[in-house]
Amino acid sequence: MKNILFRDDKSLLGSNWYILSKKLFIIPFILSFIGILAIYSLIGTEYSILLIIKHIIFLFISLSVLIFLSLLPKNNLRKFLNIMSIFFILLLLIVPIFGYEIKGATRWISFNFFSIQPSELLKGPLICMFSWFCYLYIKTNNKYYLLLSFTIISIVITFLLFQPDIGTLLVYISIFSLILILYFRNLKLFILLAFIGLFFLLIAYFSFDHVAYRIDNFLNGDNSQVSKSLSAIKTGGLFGVGFGEGQLKYSIPESHNDFIFAILIEEFGVLFGLFVAFLYPVFFILARRSILSPSNLFISNTIFSLCFLMCLQAFVNIGSSIKLIPPTGMTLPFISYGGSSMLSYAIIFGTVINFSKNEESTANNS
């Protein structure tokens, strides 16, 4: 019965489902279920039943997008992602004009019934666009593609500084640097990019009070939220205090985003937390296994970059909870609450699954 369901079906669903890497769907669906448990556990604190209802609606939309993107033909998806990049860049440009401020940062645009964060939604599509331009430069040696790439990146970085959104800015710089290293494999370039990243970090520290405040508190051990998070993890032990029985969610703000991992460990235990943490690199490994003999440099490097982004964001969120790094407000993929965040990860997961499918198909036919 393996892979015969849609073998003779010539429709979009049938023809693409047959060559799809089904195992890659497992992890985003597991993460989605864990996210529902985590958000449901928060009801009765500062959040009402409306939180879980909105979370499930966001999740349904995001999983639908994930499946849709995974089924598109590879070239159609690449073109669609380029269009999305342009659209979200345009939205990013109008954030300073039409956006609204939360905690000193203007990152969101409101559309009455919902709000979006363009910088979050832009991540996956822009990575694909930048990777594509680098690939075209490698193939044609036409410097126009590099010039266009760095022009777009400069615009994005500039407007992220205006918001300011330093955490997201550093993520973008890290991923763009990774893509350049993957394509050009130059040690001097790596050292240069490392200094550029450090330069932006120093600028952020001396230019933005909230960045300096978080870093100083982290270095001095004065962050009460992180202390509460560590205490909750210790209380949870190996097996947790039980679903819904945790106390951290009552004493810490933004628990549905920044410290959702600590809440999971307090209620389900350290072993469960390790299971959740390992799901992200496992997805990375599964995706990489489909391109062990890559026939397309663009697909190989794009999959690697998108998976690295997903693991990086998971590490940042988890690292903030266990005091490895200063808190950044970055969400845990497919678990933390947030429509823009969830849709962003859906685009990333869907693209990786799609490109893995196409890479497997290409490899098998060669």
Q: Within a domain: residue 13?
A: no
DSSP letter, residue 239: T
pLDDT the model gives residue 17: 60
pTM of the model: 0.85
Helix, strand, coil content of the chain in percent (nearest 5)? 75, 5, 25
Rounded CA-CA distance 54/345 in Å is 17
Mean pLDDT (the chain) is 81
pLDDT the model gives residue 45: 67
pLDDT band at residue 272 using 50, 70 and 90 as cut-offs: very high
Residue 101 structural domain: 24-365
Nearest to 207 by CA among 245, 166, 246: 166
Both structure tokens of 328: 């950044």
Q: Within a domain: residue 10?
A: no
Residues 193-197: what's their mean pLDDT? 75
- Give yes or no for residue 222 having a pLDDT over 80: no
Q: Within a domain: residue 19?
A: no
% of the chain with per-residue pLDDT over 70: 81
Least confident of 156-160, 277-281, 321-325: 321-325
Least confident of 122-126, 174-178, 183-187: 183-187
- For the chain, report the end-to-end CA distance as a whole number of angstroms: 25
Q: Within a domain: residue 6?
A: no
Q: How many domains does the chain have?
A: 1
Q: Within a domain: residue 47?
A: yes
Q: Within a domain: residue 332?
A: yes
Residues 114-131: what's their mean pLDDT? 90
- Give yes or no for residue 6 having a pLDDT over 60: no
- Long-range residue pairs from 149-156, CB within 8 A, at least 24 positions apart, any chain: 152/85, 152/89, 152/126, 155/89, 155/93, 156/89, 156/92, 156/119, 156/122, 156/126
Give the start-end residues of each E strand in 10-123: 99-102, 105-110, 115-116
Rounded CA-CA distance 356/366 in Å is 15
pLDDT the model gives residue 363: 40
Residue with more model confidence, 285 or 112: 285
pLDDT the model gives residue 19: 60
Q: Within a domain: residue 46?
A: yes
Residue with more model confidence, 91 or 360: 91
Peptide bond between residue 326 and the one before it cis (omega within 30 degrees of 0): no
pLDDT the model gives residue 73: 85
Q: Within a domain: residue 15?
A: no
Least confident of 83-87, 139-143, 260-264, 286-290: 286-290
